[in-house]
Structure formats: C-alpha cells, structure tokens
C-alpha cells in the first residue's frame, strides 16, 4: 500500500469568539520566495511577533492557521483555548497557543489562537490558513517558483491574458467551492486545497467513476494528526473545471471527514490538491471576489472554444 501525505481541510470550532481585530490589508503586492517541505507543497516566510521568518505551508484547505508544538515552545507562546478540529481522518480536540501577531509579506493578523500539532505531521513549522488570507488575492507562480499576496482588486486580476481560465467560486463555511466543474457531465463541487499533495474525491464521486472503470489501488492518506486513512486511488478522465478538461487526473477516493463537515457527502466533490494545481503555470485565488484564475501550460495556450482539452494531471 502506498502512503501519501495529505493535509486536506482543517475546520476548527473555537469554544468562544476570538478577540482582536485584523490590521488593514496591504495595498501593494510583495513577492515571496517559495520553499518546499513535503514534495508538491509550498511554503512562505512568516514572522511571528516580529521573530522569524519561519517557513509555513500555504494551505487553502485550512480554515485556521496552525503552528507546530516545537515552534510554539521555542517562542514561548501562551496557551489558548481548546478547539474541535476536523482533519482528514476525523474530529478531535486540540490545544491552542496565542500568537500576538503574524505576518506574511504585508498581510497578517493582529492576534490569533492557533491550534497546536506535531511538526513531524505538519511537515513544516506551521500552516498558513484562510484566516490569514481573507480579503486578499494570492498568486502562485509555478514557472517562477514564487508567490505574491496583495489586497483584492475591485477590477479583478491584473495582467489579464485571454487564454487564462477564470472560474467563479461560492463561499461554504469559509471555503471557496468551484461549482463550474463536471465529471462526464455530472456537476462536481471542487475545493482548492494547496495543503494536500494528492487530490481527494468523496464516495459519491467514486460511485460515478466506478460505473466506467475499475482497478482502484489502495493508498494511505496521512493526516496532520498523524492518523492514516485508507483510500482507493486511480486516474480519471473527463474532469472539467471551467473550460479546462483533465484526461488523466490522479484521485484518491475516501470517506474523509471534511466532506461531511462541508455538507458534501452526498454530492460528487473533490479536494483539488497540488498534483493537479501544479499542472498550471500559475494559479491565482482572489478570496474577496471569490474568483480563481488558471494560467494554462504554454502548450495549450492557443486553444480556444468552450473547453480546452488537456492531457494533464498525471502523477
């Protein structure tokens, strides 16, 4: 059985409302160097209370920013309240620490209570979650191996290229869900999850796939809690997102807890991981406008029409 490290959604419910207010969002983009901790995932330099920087994983599937026990101990952060956390393998109660301030580029939070997890399972000193990115646009440039964080623009994405694919998303429990996505004509709800190496589909989508193909391989998905969830892995075709069509998209299918938390158990749904996102030259996510822009590979840039066929998504 193969084992794949997959973060997937981290959904947390605090015991009481948090205090503190966000600072004003930045007005200009700041380019940040990207490092890698686990292959396929990205990190950016984060400062905590003016100390650092520390390489945090960018995780658009995580509702909250998370810090490793090791870094929290090194910084001497005070204990916070306990929270209930939903990860890949289920729900558990974890402790938190109070981060006085956190910044990535010029974006940041004045005060947050960050859940504590073991660094060996995170694969990094921490996860940069949606709470640190709301109201901003994030650009991940795979060609140049860099990312930028900037205040969302009213006019939308800058440097628009006619070949780029722009898809709208809907808000669902803090997540952005792309609904303009289909598997062989059946609508699929897609959540962009930069914290997961591999794309994960729910059992409703697996049932659709199983009607046309067999030969699933068992893999183990390791959660940030260190627990392992068995999944059925295969490659599927005819997956459309906007006007992009994947013909060989690797997907691990499992009854993962995040699907139930988001109310997507009974509807075909997919957590689109880094294996798929890295097939694009650039991925831009505007959280305020709820838009996603996908820059196609150079080899298919000139393609036009309602759908751009692409033999991408190979593991």
CB-side neighbour CA atoms (13 Å) of 141: 10
- The per-residue pLDDT for range 182-233, each reduced to its tens digit, is 999 999 999 998 888 889 999 999 999 999 988 899 988 888 888 888 999 9
pLDDT band at 21 (very low <50, low <70, confident <90, very high): very low
Rounded to whole angstroms, the maximal C-alpha distance in the chain is 56
State the average pLDDT over residues 93-103: 92
Whether the CB-CB separation of 197 and 2 falls below 8 Å is answered with no
More confident residue, 112 or 315: 112
Contacts made by residues 68-72, CB under 8 angstroms, sequence distance 24+? 68/116, 68/117, 68/118, 68/119, 68/122, 68/124, 68/125, 68/126, 69/116, 69/117, 69/118, 69/119, 70/118, 70/119, 70/125, 71/119, 71/125, 71/126, 72/97, 72/114, 72/116
DSSP 3-state of 70: helix
- H helices present in 65-178, as ranges: 69-75, 119-122
The pTM for the full model equals 0.80
- The per-residue pLDDT for range 141-180, each reduced to its tens digit, is 888 887 777 778 776 666 667 788 999 999 887 788 998 9
The bridge status of strand 126-128 relative to strand 102-104 is unpaired
Mention every residue, 6+ apart, whose C-beta is less than 8 A from residue 17: none
Nearest to 194 by CA among 290, 276, 118, 253: 276
The pLDDT score that the predictor gives to residue 108 is 63
State the average pLDDT over residues 73-90: 88
pLDDT band at 29 (very low <50, low <70, confident <90, very high): very low
Helix (H) or strand (E) holding 23: none
Name all domains of the chain by residue range, CATH numbers in brackets.
Answer: 2-137 (2.40.70.10), 156-310 (2.40.70.10)
């Amino acid at each position: 059985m193969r084992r794949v490290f997959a973060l997937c959604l981290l959904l947390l419910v605090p015991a009481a409302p948090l205090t503190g207010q966000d600072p004003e969002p930045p007005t200009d983009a700041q380019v940040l160097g990207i490092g890698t901790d686990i292959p396929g995932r990205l990190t950016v330099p984060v400062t905590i209370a003016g100390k650092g920087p520390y390489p945090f994983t960018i995780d658009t599937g995580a509702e909250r920013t998370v810090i490793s026990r090791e870094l929290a101990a090194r910084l001497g952060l005070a204990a916070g309240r306990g929270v209930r956390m939903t990860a890949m393998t289920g729900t558990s109660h974890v402790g938190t620490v109070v981060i006085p301030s956190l910044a990535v580029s010029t974006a940041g939070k004045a005060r947050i209570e960050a859940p504590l997890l073991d660094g060996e399972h995170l694969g990094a000193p921490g996860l940069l979650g949606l709470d640190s990115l709301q109201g901003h646009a994030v650009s991940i440039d795979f060609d140049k191996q860099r990312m930028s964080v900037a205040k969302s623009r009213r006019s939308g994405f800058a440097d628009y290229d006619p070949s780029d694919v722009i898809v709208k998303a809907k808000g669902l429990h803090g997540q952005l869900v792309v609904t303009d996505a289909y598997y062989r004509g059946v609508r699929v709800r897609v959540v962009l999850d930069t914290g997961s190496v591999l794309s994960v589909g729910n059992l409703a989508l697996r049932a659709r796939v199983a009607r046309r193909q067999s030969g699933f391989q068992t893999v183990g998905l390791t959660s940030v809690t260190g627990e392992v969830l068995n999944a059925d892995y295969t490659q599927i075709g005819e997956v459309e997102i906007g006007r992009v069509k994947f013909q060989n998209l690797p997907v691990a299918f499992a009854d993962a807890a995040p699907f139930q938390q988001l109310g997507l158990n009974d509807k075909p749904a997919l957590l689109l991981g880094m294996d798929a996102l890295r097939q694009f030259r650039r991925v831009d996510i505007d959280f305020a406008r709820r838009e996603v822009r996908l820059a196609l590979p150079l080899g298919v840039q000139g393609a036009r029409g309602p759908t751009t066929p692409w033999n991408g998504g190979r593991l």
